């Protein structure tokens, strides 16, 4: 299981400060035959090519849109916004809940026009609540100026890990992180 390092130290004002390290998530599906996910497949020519990392209890993605993903002039298409939020929630299930799942419902709120010239966009996903096998995942989409453009409450039906491994190509948590041997020099 990956360890997210948190350090506590005193700043110049003798206040305790907490620092969380960002851990990149590796895409273990890229060599899977037939894998061509619109959201995250690196080789899908028309895809979004999302990448992810963990920071504390959240999964994050910084994403730069292509111009053809506009809806209205200069605004990221709402369907693409929903797709981004769905995708990061799916990756949250994979790495934080350590299983696979499927979207059962999404409640999207488009709060402000997500302006293309305020990219890259940052997406944040965190668990709001677990109701038996349904994970409620809160997702936020921010523009580069810090403005919250859209948010969603994603309902994900999650499966026991053994079913996720047998039927949904879940490889196990160890395949999402690069592990290197310590340098003992």
Q: Is 58 helix (H, G, I), strand (E, B) or coil?
A: strand
Judge contact between 85 and 150, C-beta under 8 A.
yes
Q: What is the mean pLDDT of residues 74-83?
A: 98
Question: Strand, helix or coil at 92?
Answer: helix
Q: How do residues 132-175 score in pLDDT, each as one tens digit?
A: 999 999 999 999 999 999 999 999 999 999 999 999 999 999 99
The predicted structure's pLDDT at residue 11 = 73
pLDDT band with cut points at 50, 70 and 90 for residue 1? very low
Domain boundaries, the chain: 22-176
Neighbours of 105 (CB within 10 A): 11
Contact 87, 48 (CB under 8 A): yes
Is pLDDT at 81 greater than 70 in this prediction? yes
Query: pLDDT class for 42, splitting at 50, 70, 90?
Result: very high
Integer Cα distance of 80 and 91 in angstroms: 17
Q: What is the pTM of this model?
A: 0.87
β-strand pairing of 16-20 with 22-25: unpaired
Instruction: Grade residue 13 by pLDDT with cuts at 50, 70 and 90.
Output: confident
Report the pLDDT averaged over residues 102-115.
98
Q: What is the mean pLDDT of residues 8-32?
A: 81
Q: How far apart are CA 161 and CA 164, in angstroms?
A: 5
The CATH code of the domain at 22-176 is 3.10.129.10
Q: Which helix (H) or strand (E) holds 165?
A: helix 161-167
Indicate the DSSP class of residue 119.
Answer: P
């Amino acid at each position: 299981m990956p360890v997210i390092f948190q350090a506590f130290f005193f700043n110049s004002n003798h206040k305790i400060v907490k620092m969380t390290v960002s851990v990149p998530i590796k895409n273990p599906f890229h060599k899977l035959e037939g894998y061509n996910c619109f959201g995250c497949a690196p080789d899908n020519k028309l895809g979004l090519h999302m990448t992810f990392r963990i920071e504390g209890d959240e999964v994050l993605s910084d994403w730069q849109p292509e111009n053809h993903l506009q809806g209205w002039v200069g605004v990221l298409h709402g369907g693409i916004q929903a797709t981004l939020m769905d995708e990061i929630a799916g990756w949250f299930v994979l790495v934080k809940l350590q299983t696979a799942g499927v979207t059962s419902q999404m409640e999207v709120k488009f709060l402000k026009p997500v302006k293309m010239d305020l990219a890259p966009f940052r997406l944040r996903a965190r668990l709001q609540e677990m109701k038996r096998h349904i994970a409620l995942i809160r997702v936020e989409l921010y523009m580069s100026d810090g403005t919250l453009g859209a948010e969603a409450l994603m309902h994900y039906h999650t499966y026991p890990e053994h079913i996720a491994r047998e039927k949904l190509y879940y490889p196990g948590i160890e395949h999402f992180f690069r592990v290197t041997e310590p340098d003992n020099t």
